[in-house]
Structure 1
Amino acid sequence: MYSILFIDLSSDDIVVNIPEMPQDRYWVFPICTPYGDNLINIGNLGVSKPGEYLIQYDPDNYGLETENIPDGFAGVIKYPMAYGLVNSRILTDRSEEDVEIVQKLQLGFNVSRTIPRPEPPIAPPLDLTMFTKPEYNDGNISSCHEAVMKVAAALAPYNPPYVTSDRDWVAAELRKAGFNNGTFTQPRGSNLTAAVELAKKTSLAFMDKPGVRQDVGNDWFIVSEGYIGKFDSHYEARYQIATTAYLALDPSESVYPFHEGDLVVEEGKSILFTFPEPPKIKDGGFWSLTVYGPDQDLVPNDMEKYMVGDRSNLTFPDGTPVAKGDHREFQVLLQASGIEPPTNWTAK
C-alpha cells in the first residue's frame, strides 16, 4: 500500500517520523525528486531504525547520514532541492485484516515538526493548488504538452539537477526551450507535438544502447543500475522510465524484470509462465508477477486477481506450497477473463 508525502524545504528543514515496523514486513520510505530520481531510501532492507529523521536542505549534496549527527535523530537526510516527494510502500497480503494493520502503520509516517533555517527562503512555499490552475491543467488548455512545459518552468528554478556539474548546461538548454524566470513561452517556429515525438524516439533509442539493460533470459530484461531509480545525467532514461514507471525505486531496493514486447492473450488461448524455481529475494523482501494493460494500469477482472507472488497461495504441481522453499519448477496461468479458470488452477 502506498501513501504520498510532499516535501517542502523552501524555508525550513523538516523532521519526519518513522514508526516501529514489524520485522517480517517489507516497507520503504523513499525520498524522491519531482523528476522521479530515487535519491535516498529508509526501509527494512537497509535495516533502518525507527525514530525522527531530519531532512536538511543541502544544495550540493544528498544522502543519508546515521553517524555524527545531532542527538535525538535516527538519521539526517541531505537533500539538494526545494521540493520533493515520498511514495512510501508497505507490503500487504490484501486481506481485510492486513489492510487495516497497514493503514495504522501508514499513520506513523508523518512530519512531526519543522526547523527554521537562518538563511532567506530558497523558494516560495510549495502550493499544490497550482495544479488546479488553468495554465497548469491539461484539461483546461488546448495542449497537454504546453501544460507540462508550464509546470516544469514553474518548478525548475528551485529544483536544479542533483548532479551539480549539469546545472549550468541544463539551465541553458531550458532557456533555449522557452523557460524564463518561472514561465514558459513557446519559441517561434517550434512544434510541441513534434518535440514530444522526438523525445520519445530519442529516449527509446537510448534504452536500446548496449549496457542500458541486461538480458536475463527468455526475452526478459532488467534496466541496469544508473538508468532506473537514480539516473544521474541519463536524462533520456529518466524520461522513458517516467512515462511507464514514475517513481521506480533504485536497484538497491527493487528490481523490475520486464518482458520484451507485448504479451497478447488471444481468444481461447492462455499464456503459461514457468518458473524453474522460486525467485531468490533478500530477507524481508518480496516478489510478484503483475499484469498491466496497454494503459499501464492493472487489468480489471472479476476475480480481482492482479498479481501472484510470495504472498499468494502458490503450490507445486504435487500440492506442496511454494513457500516451503523447494528449488523446483512451478507455473502461473494467464488467460482471458471470459474463460472459466480450471478448477485445479484457481486457488493455486
Structure 2
Amino acid sequence: MNFLLLFHHLLAALIVAFSVSLAAPTTSAQNATVDALVYAFPLTSYVNFANTGFVVNASNDFATNTFAHVTTLANASFRTIILPNTDTLYSAALVDLSAGDVVVTMPEREAGRFYVLPVYDLFGNNVCSIGTATDSTAGQYLIQYRPSDAGCDLAPVDAKGYAGTVSLPTVYGAILLRIEVYNASDVDHIVSVIQPQFNLTPLNEPSSGAPPLTSALLNDNLDVNNPPLSLLQLLSRVALFNPAEEASDSERVAATLEAAGISFDSQSYTQPAGVDLASAYSAALDLVEQVPSNPANLLPLGSSSPSTWSTTLPSLSGDFHTRYDVRAFIGLVAYLQLNSTQAIYPAYTVTQEFFANTTYMVEFFGKPNVVGFWSLTIYDGDGYLVPNALNRYSLGDRANLTYPDGVSVYGNGASGDEAESRSFYMLLQSTDVKVASDWESNWLPTPTDGAQFLFILRFYGPTLSLTDGTYKYPQISAVDVNPPLPSSE
C-alpha cells in the first residue's frame, strides 16, 4: 500500500492559505513549535472522530462515556474513519474521565468469534486491548486517569471485583470496538444480541479537575483558516490534563510546549515573537512524511529477500510511547490503529503506485495463519471504500475465494497441510471492465476512470509465522484484463 499517497491527499485537505510572518524566527522557539505541531497532529483526527454523527447526541454535543453502535457494515458512503474495516461491526465511544472513573462491561465471548475492545488515549495510543487475543475474561474493567502510571493490567482486582484495569495517561480518550462478522446474515445477531451487552458506566469519582469533554472545547473559537495556529490553540486547551504517555518524558514535553507558546496556567497559546508558523508547519509535515520511508521504523516481512512487504515495528505499532513522529503519521493515515498483539497491517514496500486502468493479480502462496481473521481491502486515493455494484470491498477468509480449479479455499475439502500451502489468487480490476466469470469469486473492484487506489492487508490475531519469516507473503503483478487463470496446482 502507498501510505505516502494517502498522506499527501490528507495534507491537501488540511492545508489552506494563511498569512506568513516576515520576522526572523527565534531558533529555540521555532524548533519547539515544530515539535509541538508534530506532537499535536493526532488531535486533528480525534476532533474529526468526535465531530461525526457517530458520537454526537440529540443536543448536537458529544455523547461521552456511552457506546454508539454501528449496526451496518462499512460501505462506500462510510466516512467516520479512513481505511475502515468491512468485516467487523464497530462500536465507538468518547471516553471522558474528567468527572471520574468509568467501567466498561464485557460479555461472555461466543466460541470462535474474534473481537477486540481497544482503549486509546487522546493522542491515539492503544494503551490497552481487551478481547480474544489477550484471552480476556468477561466482567467489568475499570478505566481510570493515571497520568503518572499509565498502562494496562488485565489481572483481576479481587478487592473491587474488576476483571482488569486500564490506566489512561490522558483525561480524554476513545474506544473503537471491533466485532468479527462472519457474513451478511450474521449482522442481525451481533446487533441484537452482542452489541447491547457492551456498556460503559461513569462512576463520577474521583474528579480530575479537568473541564468536561464537549464540542465547544474542541471546536469553538479556533482560527480554523490557519491550520498550525488552530492546532496549537487546541493543544493549549487540552495539554494540562492530557500529558505524554510516558511519565518520564512529561517534563521534557511540557518544557517544549511552553517554549512553543503553550501556557499551562491560562491554557492558551501565544505565538512567540519571531516564530514563523508557516515554515514550522511545513517542517513538521516533512518530519512526519519521512516516517514510512525510514527503514529503521519497519520490520521486513516474509521469506523473500529483499522483502517486498513490511510492517511498522511492533514497538511502534498502535502504542507509540515517545515516538511522536510515528504517532503523528499513523494518526493522520490510520487513526486508531491496533497494537501488534491484536493486528498487523503488512504494507507492500515496492515503490509502486496503483492505478485502476491497470489490472493486477495477487498470488497468495498459502493461507495466512491467524487466530482471528484476515482480509485485503481496496480503497480510493482518499482512504475510502470504492463504490461497485457488488458492494464488495474486501476478500479474505470468510469470502468465497476459490483455487484455480474451482475448489473453495475455505470451504469443505480445503483442509490439510497441502491446502494450507496451496496458491490462490485475487484479481484487482476496475469496475469499468466486466470481470470474466472465472474470476468473479476472487475479484476485488478498483475505481473507475484510471484513478489511483490503495489496499490494506490486515491480519487479526497474527501468529508468529507472519512476522518471523516463515510465511511467504503475496506477489503482485500487473496483468492483462481478465487474464487466464493460473494453472491449478
Give your verdict on TM over 0.5: yes
What's the CA shift for 1:178?
Answer: 2.0
User: Does structure 2 retain, via aligned residues, the 8 Å contact 1:271–1:335?
Assistant: yes
What's the CA shift for 1:207?
Answer: 4.1
> What's the counterpart of residue 271 of structure 1?
360
Pick the aligned partner of 2:271 from 183, 186, 210. Answer: 186
Question: 1:233 is matched by which residue type in structure 2?
Answer: T
Which string of whole-angstrom CA distances, capped at 9 and with x for unpartnered residues, describes residues 49-108 of structure 1?
Answer: 11111112323222124244334322222223211111111112451x322222232222
Taking a change above 3 Å as real, the CA distance of residues 63 and 312 of structure 1, as seen in their structure-2 partners, is same
> What's the counterpart of residue 405 of structure 2?
318
| Cα separation, 1, equivalents of 2:317 and 2:209 | 29
Structure 2 residue 394 is the aligned partner of structure 1 residue 307: yes
> What's the counterpart of residue 3 of structure 1?
91
Aligned residues: 338
Return 192-201 or 334-343, whichever deviates more: 192-201
Taking a change above 3 Å as real, the CA distance of residues 155 and 69 of structure 1, as seen in their structure-2 partners, is farther
What's the CA shift for 1:266?
Answer: 5.0
Which structure has more RCO (C-alpha within 8 Å, separation ≥ 6)? 2
Question: 1:86 is matched by which residue type in structure 2?
Answer: I
> What's the counterpart of residue 149 of structure 1?
232
Taking a change above 3 Å as real, the CA distance of residues 128 and 16 of structure 1, as seen in their structure-2 partners, is farther
The within-5 A match list for 1:26-105 is 26-61=114-149, 62-93=151-182, 95=184, 97-104=185-192, 105=194
> What's the counterpart of residue 425 of structure 2?
331
What's the CA shift for 1:262?
Answer: 4.5
The within-5 A match list for 1:177-216 is 177-181=260-264, 182-216=267-301
| Cα separation, 1, equivalents of 2:276 and 2:409 | 54
Taking a change above 3 Å as real, the CA distance of residues 56 and 179 of structure 1, as seen in their structure-2 partners, is same
Taking a change above 3 Å as real, the CA distance of residues 10 and 159 of structure 1, as seen in their structure-2 partners, is same
What secondary structure sits across from 1:347 in the alignment? helix
Structure 2 residue 380 is the aligned partner of structure 1 residue 293: yes
> What's the counterpart of residue 135 of structure 1?
222
What secondary structure sits across from 1:345 in the alignment? helix
User: Does structure 2 retain, via aligned residues, the 8 Å contact 1:69–1:75?
Assistant: no
What secondary structure sits across from 1:124 in the alignment? coil
| Cα separation, 2, equivalents of 1:265 and 1:66 | 49
What secondary structure sits across from 2:315 in the alignment? coil
Pick the aligned partner of 1:12 from 96, 100, 104. Answer: 100
What's the CA shift for 1:210?
Answer: 3.9
User: Does structure 1 retain, via aligned residues, the 8 Å contact 2:100–2:202?
Assistant: no
User: Does structure 1 retain, via aligned residues, the 8 Å contact 2:122–2:170?
Assistant: no
Taking a change above 3 Å as real, the CA distance of residues 43 and 147 of structure 1, as seen in their structure-2 partners, is same
The alignment's C-alpha RMSD in Å is: 2.0
Pick the aligned partner of 2:245 from 144, 162, 168. Answer: 162
Pick the aligned partner of 2:325 from 236, 239, 247. Answer: 236
| Cα separation, 1, equivalents of 2:377 and 2:235 | 32
What's the CA shift for 1:206?
Answer: 4.3
User: Does structure 2 retain, via aligned residues, the 8 Å contact 1:23–1:44?
Assistant: no
User: Does structure 2 retain, via aligned residues, the 8 Å contact 1:150–1:184?
Assistant: yes
What secondary structure sits across from 1:346 in the alignment? helix
| Cα separation, 2, equivalents of 1:113 and 1:200 | 38
| Cα separation, 1, equivalents of 2:219 and 2:425 | 47
| Cα separation, 2, equivalents of 1:134 and 1:92 | 42
Structure 2 residue 342 is the aligned partner of structure 1 residue 253: yes
User: Does structure 1 retain, via aligned residues, the 8 Å contact 2:359–2:430?
Assistant: yes
| Cα separation, 2, equivalents of 1:126 and 1:278 | 45
Structure 2 residue 262 is the aligned partner of structure 1 residue 174: no
What secondary structure sits across from 1:240 in the alignment? helix
What secondary structure sits across from 2:101 in the alignment? strand
What's the CA shift for 1:233?
Answer: 0.9
| Cα separation, 2, equivalents of 1:184 and 1:302 | 50
What secondary structure sits across from 2:251 in the alignment? helix
Question: 2:250 is matched by which residue type in structure 1?
Answer: R
| Cα separation, 2, equivalents of 1:103 and 1:152 | 37
Q: Give the TM-score taking structure 1 as reference length.
A: 0.90
| Cα separation, 1, equivalents of 2:330 and 2:138 | 31
- Gap regions ≥5 residues in structure 1: none
What secondary structure sits across from 2:140 in the alignment? strand
Taking a change above 3 Å as real, the CA distance of residues 2 and 289 of structure 1, as seen in their structure-2 partners, is same
What stretches of structure 1 move > 6 A for 4+ residues in a row?
Answer: none
| Cα separation, 1, equivalents of 2:311 and 2:175 | 24
| Cα separation, 1, equivalents of 2:282 and 2:396 | 37
| Cα separation, 2, equivalents of 1:199 and 1:336 | 36
User: Does structure 1 retain, via aligned residues, the 8 Å contact 2:157–2:163?
Assistant: no
What secondary structure sits across from 2:203 in the alignment? strand
Taking a change above 3 Å as real, the CA distance of residues 44 and 266 of structure 1, as seen in their structure-2 partners, is closer
Question: 1:344 is matched by which residue type in structure 2?
Answer: D
Question: 1:110 is matched by which residue type in structure 2?
Answer: N
Q: Give the TM-score taking structure 2 as reference length.
A: 0.65
Give me the identity figure in percent.
31
